[in-house]
Amino acid sequence: MAGHDPRLILLDPRDNVFVARMRLPAGERIETGAGAALTDRDIALAHKVARRAIAPGEKILKYGAPIGVATAAIAAGSHVHVQNMKSDYTPTYHLEDERADAKG
């Protein structure tokens, strides 16, 4: 298996997400370590990027620990954030404005 894109950090080998080391534009080709993928939108510094396809209902793993659950199918290379995951830590009402912004 090839290494992953140096613009992405893998915090733990169990993780299904990377962390962006820099801003990545929409449509950017990235290497996941299991093949190439394209970013689905602009991804901000320190935001999560799917390492592989993640099914709805699957736990999002970061630092080797579950941090939330996928609320929709997430393709490899996609931004993982409020539009497609529910946090295990932040109450939903704190995310409503951010979700509205993500849709708008």
Look at residue 1 in the predicted model and tell me its pLDDT: 46
- Quick: pLDDT tens for 21-56: 999 999 999 999 989 999 999 999 999 999 999 999
Q: Are 68 and 87 in contact (CB under 8 A)?
A: yes
The tally of domains found in the chain comes to: 1
What average pLDDT does the segment 60-73 reach? 96
Parent domain of 74: 8-103
Residue 97 lies in a domain: yes
Residue 61 lies in a domain: yes
64 falls within a domain: yes
Task: Identify the pLDDT of residue 89.
Answer: 76
Domain of 60, CATH number, reads: 2.30.130.110
Task: Please write the tens of the pLDDT for every residue from 78-103.
Answer: 999 999 999 887 655 555 666 666 67
In a domain, 2, yes or no: no
- Alpha-carbon span 103 to 60, nearest angstrom: 21
Q: Is residue 60 part of a domain?
A: yes
Per the domain annotation, does 1 fall within a domain?
Answer: no
pLDDT for res 51: 98
| 3-state SS class at 58 | coil
* Token couple for 12: 């733990």
Is residue 55, in this structure, part of any structural domain at all? yes
Task: Work out the pLDDT band at 17, boundaries 50, 70, 90.
Answer: very high
Q: Which residue has the higher pLDDT, 89 or 74?
A: 74
E strands, the chain, where? Answer: 8-9, 17-20, 29-31, 36-38, 48-50, 59-62, 65-70, 79-80, 85-87
